[in-house]
């Protein structure tokens, strides 16, 4: 695992082998950033963006955003082993001043955010076997912690059909082997 681009390009990330945490593959991550940068359907930029990385694991997505000049990343992760590696990665990359780590479930997230926290990009990477993230997504939508100009990115198992039609305006769906990435807005 490594940072693909930006001022931290090539830096290695520590990761864990776990049945509950699955790292975001470099190929998938690189394609996500290419779509953000080059798609005419997406008008959100990473530079100076405030990012919410939910089910962040070791922080691969959010740390990549910071390397590409995002303003700040709020990581949400409840798994203790993943949190330990996430914090280690943040320290090793010297990004403590640009991060906020919340060791909590997403349902408890909203009470820990300030009233001024508005996110341009919200990335959700829940365990593939679970669909509880749909309720978390609805909570995020209903509490209005996103900017008017925002992007929702969801990383899922390509074979899973999630009932997202009523909750999102889906812009793009891409499949990469076992992974499916959904780009949307509220």
For the 26-185 domain, the top CATH level (class) is alpha beta
More confident residue, 25 or 102: 102
Q: How far is CA 88 from CA 4, 74, 79, in A?
A: 19, 15, 14
Mean pLDDT for 97-106 is: 89
Contact 63, 95 (CB under 8 A): yes
Mean pLDDT for 61-70 is: 98
Residue whose entry in the numeric block shows the structure tokens 């790292």: 23
Instruction: Give every CB contact of residue 130 below 8 A, 6+ residues apart in sequence.
Output: none
The band of 142, judged by pLDDT with boundaries at 50, 70 and 90, is confident
Q: What is the pLDDT of residue 160?
A: 82
In sequence order, the β-bridge partners of residue 161 are none
Q: Nearest CA to 54 among 117, 101, 4, 88?
A: 101
Whole-model pTM: value is 0.92
Say what percent of the chain tops pLDDT 70.
Answer: 91
Q: What is the pLDDT of residue 15?
A: 87
């Amino acid at each position: 695992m490594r940072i693909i681009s930006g001022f931290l390009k090539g830096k290695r990330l520590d990761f864990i082998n776990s049945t509950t945490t699955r790292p975001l593959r470099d190929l998938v991550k690189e394609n996500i950033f290419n779509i953000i940068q080059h798609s005419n359907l997406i008008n959100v930029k990473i530079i100076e963006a405030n990012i919410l990385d939910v089910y962040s694991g070791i922080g691969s997505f959010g740390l990549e955003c910071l390397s590409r000049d995002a303003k700040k990343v709020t990581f949400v992760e409840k798994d203790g082993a993943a949190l330990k590696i996430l914090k280690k990665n943040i320290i090793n990359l010297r990004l403590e001043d640009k991060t906020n780590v919340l060791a909590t479930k997403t349902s408890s997230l909203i009470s820990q955010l300030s009233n001024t926290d508005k996110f341009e990009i919200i990335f959700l990477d829940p365990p593939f076997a679970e669909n509880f993230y749909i309720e978390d997504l609805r909570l995020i939508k209903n509490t209005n912690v996103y900017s008017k100009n925002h992007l929702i990115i969801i990383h899922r198992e390509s074979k899973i059909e999630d009932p997202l039609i009523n909750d999102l305006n889906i812009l793009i769906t891409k499949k990469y082997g076992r992974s499916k990435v959904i780009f949307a807005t509220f």
